[in-house]
Amino acid sequence: MTARILDGKAIAAEIRAELGEQIEVFSQQTEVTPCLAAVLVGDDPASEVYVRSKRRTCEKLGMGSQLHQLPADATDDQLLALIAQLNADRAVHGILVQLPLPPQMNTQVVLDAVDAAKDVDAFHPHNVGLISQGRPRFLPCTPHGVCQILARSELPVSGRRVVILGRSEIVGKPLASMLVQKTSHLGSEYANATVTVCHSRTEDLAAISRQADVLVAAIGKASFVTAEMVQPGATVIDVGINRTENGLVGDVDFEGVKEVAGAITPVPGGVGPLTIAMVLTNTFTAARLAVQQSASA
């Protein structure tokens, strides 16, 4: 069997097109342009490419975008002052602090300082709490991208066994939190999963991953998931992005696993494009909520 390839690029393009139409109507009705402010500390080339790509996409969709750069030796106080300024700026709806921050900075303190109503990464404890209670304001971008791929490919998870490899705050944990809810904005078919989360201390990980109807790999280890770890016919979502001598590869041995899986995302061109689309979706949500709030004030 050769797996169906889930085309993340095409799904992201579909979402961007829908978002562009919604933004056009919103901006005409409210005279507000949703605006994303990206904060970049230092000069990491990969982060710069990522941030610039987000800015270009914003502009194509009729959104505003700002880039605020601080030097690599900036202090927490300098960054916190910039965040306070962006929190107070009514023209800015979403704030994105590009990670990783330089080692002298306290990432948790910085992320907690972003106004929860502008926290388009959904990292603020308030937003994490809302997600865990099943009443999200923003959905975390990469996990939301995974759910969009499943929903738009008509691969429901309700009642199915989902195994997530990795328990990070950015991917594994929030994805698990979303999939165990009773419903989601994509419908109850894309919630109600039976979720197992594996990590570096998990014993006999292959035996667990083989039970998965949907296997999500988010560990940051090139080609870690091999065909023997996958149940025949399973859906395999590869979140990993690993730079190797052979270019970018995921956490899944794509060539081997595609012969066993029922459906699989490639790397690149799988989850990655969805993550950026979801940041922009959250920025639009932030702008809508800001307008609603000022109307009711």
In the complex, which residues of this chain contact ligand NDP (CB under 6 A)? 142, 165-168, 170-172, 198-202, 205, 218-221, 239-242, 271-272, 275
- For the bound state, the minimum distance from the C-beta of residue 166 to ligand NDP, rounded and expressed in Å, comes to 4
> Smaller CB distance to ligand NDP: residue 82 or 163?
163
- Yes or no: say if 40 and 47 are a contact pair by the CB < 8 Å rule: yes
Largest CA distance in the chain: 58
> Smaller CB distance to ligand NDP: residue 172 or 262?
172
> Smaller CB distance to ligand NDP: residue 70 or 163?
163
- For the bound state, the minimum distance from the C-beta of residue 221 to ligand NDP, rounded and expressed in Å, comes to 5
- Give residue number: closest CB to ligand NDP: 168
- Yes or no: say if 177 and 170 are a contact pair by the CB < 8 Å rule: no
Under the phi-then-psi rule, with left for phi > 0, alpha for psi from -120 to 50, and beta for the rest, what region is 220?
Answer: left
- For the bound state, the minimum distance from the C-beta of residue 6 to ligand NDP, rounded and expressed in Å, comes to 13
- For the bound state, the minimum distance from the C-beta of residue 198 to ligand NDP, rounded and expressed in Å, comes to 5
The one-letter amino acid code at 86 reads L
Torsion (CA) 59, 65, 69, 74 in degrees, nearest 10: -150
Q: How many CB atoms lie within 10 A of CB 137?
A: 17
- For the bound state, the minimum distance from the C-beta of residue 33 to ligand NDP, rounded and expressed in Å, comes to 26
What separation in angstroms does the CA of 40 have from each of 50, 62, 132, 147, 209? Answer: 10, 22, 29, 28, 37
The two three-digit tokens of residue 187, written as one number: 């419908």
Q: Which helix (H) or strand (E) holds 165?
A: strand 161-165
> Smaller CB distance to ligand NDP: residue 142 or 231?
142
Q: So which residues are the catalytic ones? A: 54, 98, 121
> Smaller CB distance to ligand NDP: residue 127 or 192?
127
What separation in angstroms does the CA of 159 have from each of 73, 149, 223? Answer: 49, 18, 28
Phi, psi torsion values for 6, nearest 5 degrees:
-90, 115
